[in-house]
């Protein structure tokens, strides 16, 4: 035990030292509470709340700058908006849903705080989404490193918070390159075995919500070349344990060829595809790459818009990919001042239903309640297991 704790301390110390050594005299947050970094032909702003990306600027094929992610103009509003749609943050300590807000590790059962689908019998909810009512993307992270093209956030999650066992420390680093956005997420369990699964919960609109032909993102084209299977879910999006094949040319076929998000929206069978009474996608596609593979060699997903010409190839070491077509957005969240159309009567400056796409790199959802899937080594971590690690690269182009 002593050597295990020592190795944990050394690992955390080394990460902290690396972060400190990367710090320069670059100024702190701007008047809106944001930290901005820049690469070649790309610029992004971040806020400590949820370690969230709040702006991502690129020029489209017409040379017009577009801000292609949702967020708010001022960092203070992230903690004010009670809807909290997880704009651009890091959900944790366990992303996506946990059935019945419970799980077991080595025969010990844990009950964590619910926060989704309240019922009269369970007014707080019947399951846990994105780590609970005070998940990681509801908290202010600490900026521990900040350079012209990179920023690192850190969070200490105390034992028992939201009901999870053991203390966890996490570091998230965002870096911009030549039309690229890289991020790495590491987390280490310092005391006992606990579930850890992170992601990046960014809402994308590659037109910057400025497409004068449509208010939606259903014109965006998605390709998941390794996404031939998906996790089956029930009416409240809890995995059933079944793994389904995505039939070629079917509703969930984004693997055989690129397809517009809205291609099947006139098909009545799409109703219920993203939960009860929901039309669209809120789907965990499995990324089945031939092994061995280098995570940064081939993209697991490509999203593009022919209107702006902007495209993004996504590379990751994760084995699942959640796609959400923003069916739950209802126009109650305003666009930022850097987005959308102005003075157009039939285009309110809001995030409308289906006007965005969420793409989450992650592991198999709720696998902690499905040991038959064999994902424990990817999702259960103790001090002796080394860090949880997530890596991803978003490579932008103008070939959409």
Q: What is the DSSP letter of 10?
A: H
Phi, psi angle pair for 240, to nearest 5° = -85, -15
Contact present, 260 and 218 (Cβ < 8 Å): yes
Q: Which residues of 305-332 are buried (b: 16+ CB within 10 A; e: fewer)?
A: bbbbbbbbbbbbbbbbbbbbbbbebeee
Q: How far is CA 360 from the centre of its chain?
A: 4
Catalytic one of 201, 220, 223, 370: 201
Please list, in sequence order, all residues whose beta carbon lies within 8 angstroms of the beta carbon of residue 6, skipping any fewer than 6 positions away.
none
Q: Which residues of 135-174 are buried (b: 16+ CB within 10 A; e: fewer)?
A: bbbbbebebbbbeebbbbbbbebeeebbebbbbbbbbbbb
Helix (H, G, I), strand (E, B) or coil at 129: strand
Active-site annotation holds for 201? yes
Biggest CA-to-CA distance, the chain: 67
Please list, in sequence order, all residues whose beta carbon lies within 8 angstroms of the beta carbon of residue 128, skipping any fewer than 6 positions away.
94, 97, 98, 101, 112, 113, 114, 115, 116, 162
Residue 383: which of 163, 193, 107, 197 has the closest Cα?
193
Structure token pair of residue 210 = 């400025």
Strands 42-47 and 35-39: antiparallel
Catalytic one of 116, 167, 360, 395: 360
Contact present, 297 and 217 (Cβ < 8 Å): no
Residue holding tokens 């029930």? 234
Torsion sign, CA atoms 313, 317, 319, 325: negative
Active site residues: 201, 360
């Amino acid at each position: 035990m002593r050597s295990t704790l020592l190795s944990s301390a050394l690992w955390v110390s080394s990460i902290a030292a690396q972060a400190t050594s990367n710090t320069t005299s670059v100024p702190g947050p701007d008047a809106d509470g944001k930290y901005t970094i820049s690469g070649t032909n790309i610029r992004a702003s971040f806020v400590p709340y949820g370690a969230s990306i709040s702006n991502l600027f690129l020029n489209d094929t017409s040379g017009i700058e577009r801000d292609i992610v949702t967020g708010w103009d001022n960092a203070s509003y992230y903690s004010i908006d009670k809807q909290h749609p997880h704009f651009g943050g890091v959900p944790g300590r366990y992303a996506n849903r946990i059935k019945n807000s419970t799980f077991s590790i080595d025969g010990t059962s844990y009950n964590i705080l619910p926060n989704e689908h309240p019922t009269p019998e369970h007014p707080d909810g019947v399951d846990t989404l994105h780590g609970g009512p005070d998940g990681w993307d509801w908290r202010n992270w600490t900026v521990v490193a900040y350079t012209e093209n990179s920023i690192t956030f850190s969070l200490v999650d105390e034992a028992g918070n939201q009901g999870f066992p053991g203390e966890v420390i996490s570091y998230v680093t965002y870096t911009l390159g030549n039309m690229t956005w890289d991020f790495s997420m590491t987390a280490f369990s310092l005391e006992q075995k606990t579930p850890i699964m992170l992601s990046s919960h960014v809402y994308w609109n590659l037109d910057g919500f400025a497409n004068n032909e449509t208010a939606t993102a259903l014109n965006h084209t998605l390709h998941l070349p390794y996404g031939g299977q998906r996790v089956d879910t029930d009416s409240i999006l809890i995995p059933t344990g079944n793994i389904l094949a995505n039939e070629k040319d079917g509703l969930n076929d984004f693997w055989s060829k690129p397809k517009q998000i809205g291609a099947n929206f006139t098909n009545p069978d799409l109703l219920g595809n993203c939960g009860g009474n929901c039309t669209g996608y809120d789907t965990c596609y499995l990324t089945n790459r031939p092994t061995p593979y280098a995570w940064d060699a081939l993209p697991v997903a490509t999203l593009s818009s022919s209107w702006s010409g902007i495209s993004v190839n996504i590379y990751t070491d994760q084995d699942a990919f959640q796609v959400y077509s923003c069916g739950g957005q209802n126009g109650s969240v305003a666009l930022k001042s850097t987005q959308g159309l102005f003075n157009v009567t039939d285009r309110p400056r809001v995030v409308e239903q289906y006007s965005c796409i969420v793409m989450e790199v992650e592991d198999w959802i709720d696998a902690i309640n499905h040991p038959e899937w064999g994902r424990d080594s990817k999702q259960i971590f103790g001090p002796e297991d080394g860090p949880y690690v997530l890596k991803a690269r978003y490579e932008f182009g103008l070939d959409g």
